[in-house]
Amino acid sequence: MRTPAHGLPSPYALPPATKHCAATKDRRQRKRGWRNTGDDTRGAKGASMKHSEKSQTSPEEIIAKNVKRLRREQRIGKERFCLMVNIGRPTLNKIEKGAPNTRLSTIRKVAEGLGVEVIDLLR
């Protein structure tokens, strides 16, 4: 790399490679350790949940399982089903994965497209 005539380093020159200090390395290892071991020292939302609460199936998961099952039983592909009920493919993917906060109007469209009532998706 050439240095300019004025002797100052080029603003585009890369800084010399530096090694991380021991403190930075230690912080990284602690951070990785926290992630890998599942320590709930940072007050994670799920830290106070009891075992019985974790094993309970959420309504979103029940709907997801039933939508996927009914759609497959009727042999309707995702693209075709989305066109039938006028929803986007990402929305259907979220529903079938059990994502929370799906609009009730969307669930109603999906139920109508499958030929069932909304309550049947929760059973």
Nearest C-alpha neighbor of 62 from the set 21, 28, 113, 100: 100
pLDDT tens across 64-91, in order? 999 999 999 999 999 999 999 999 999 9
- Angle at CA of residue 89, ends 83 and 94, nearest 5°: 135
> What are residue 80's phi and psi, to 5 degrees?
-65, -40
Q: Is the confidence at residue 122, as pLDDT, over 70?
A: yes
Q: How many residues does the chain have?
A: 123
pLDDT classification of 7: cutoffs 50, 70, 90: low
Residue spans of the domains in the chain: they are 59-121
* Fold designation for 59-121: 434 Repressor (Amino-terminal Domain) (1.10.260)
Question: 8-65, pLDDT tens digit by residue?
Answer: 666 666 556 556 666 666 666 666 665 544 444 444 454 545 545 556 889 999 999 9
Eight-state DSSP code of residue 45? G
C-alpha radius of gyration, the chain, whole number: 26
The answer to whether 1 and 13 are in contact (CB under 8 A) is yes
pLDDT at 56: 87
